[in-house]
Amino acid sequence: MTLEKYMKLNFPDLELRPPLFYNWDISIRFELGMDYNFENHSYLEGVYKRAIDLFKSIHSPNDNMYIVVDVNHFGNHPSFSRKINVFSKYVKEKAVLYKLHKHTIPYIFPEDDENGTYRTDRFMLKCKTSDFKFIPLIKAICNQDMGVRPGISHRIYFINMDKNTIFHIYDDRGCDLLAAAPETIRDIYEEYNEWILDYDRNEIDNAFKKS
């Protein structure tokens, strides 16, 4: 099944762009970064732990998934081969990369593209959780705004086709977890309730009370 067909079937009318949490009813926003300051050297370790624990709680090794990476271009269009490095560094077996596809779509934030000249290259890799090194990949995503290498600034979405969930770490501050059905992530909602972002807690609690 293509990503487009999968999304239409399980997440109808959802645009794959941030902020996902505010565009889907069955969703949780978790806080990853706590007590940040220049002297808190353990800050990133805490971010890593939360992000990795959440990922593990959602994804089993044999789950079928799409890893989606959005690369935005502002008038320049790098070649496909240059951007494949986003995947090749974290995939365990290079043969998996033969499943990598790319579509060029209109810029995912059209409201910021007055002249209509920007584009987004959407890279999609269909694989299993066990096919890639998710711990270093998650750390690189969390590093994006921290001046720590390696860092990945592109938007990355983990779409679990068996669980029908979408997991997106937007930066070191937090991440969104979406599901097609509330029961899929109710255990995660309960187990990691203390990590829920307080700003959105009432909305999240209400979504699970209704179901």
What are 143-200's pLDDT values in tens digits? 988 888 888 989 999 999 999 999 999 999 999 999 999 999 999 999 999 999 999 9
Domains in the chain: how many in total?
A: 1
Give which of 24, 20, 15, 67 is closest to 176, Cα–Cα: 20
How confident is residue 76, by pLDDT bands cut at 50, 70 and 90? low
**Cα–Cα distance for residue pair 145/198, rounded to 1 Å:** 22
CA-based nearest residue to 59, from 157, 154, 152, 195 = 157
| pTM of the model as a whole | 0.92
> What's residue 139's pLDDT?
96
Q: For residue 84, what are the domain limits?
A: 3-210
Nearest CA to 55 among 177, 162, 202, 181?
177
Q: What is the pLDDT of residues 88-141, one digit of tens each?
A: 899 999 999 999 999 998 888 888 877 778 899 999 999 999 999 999 999 999
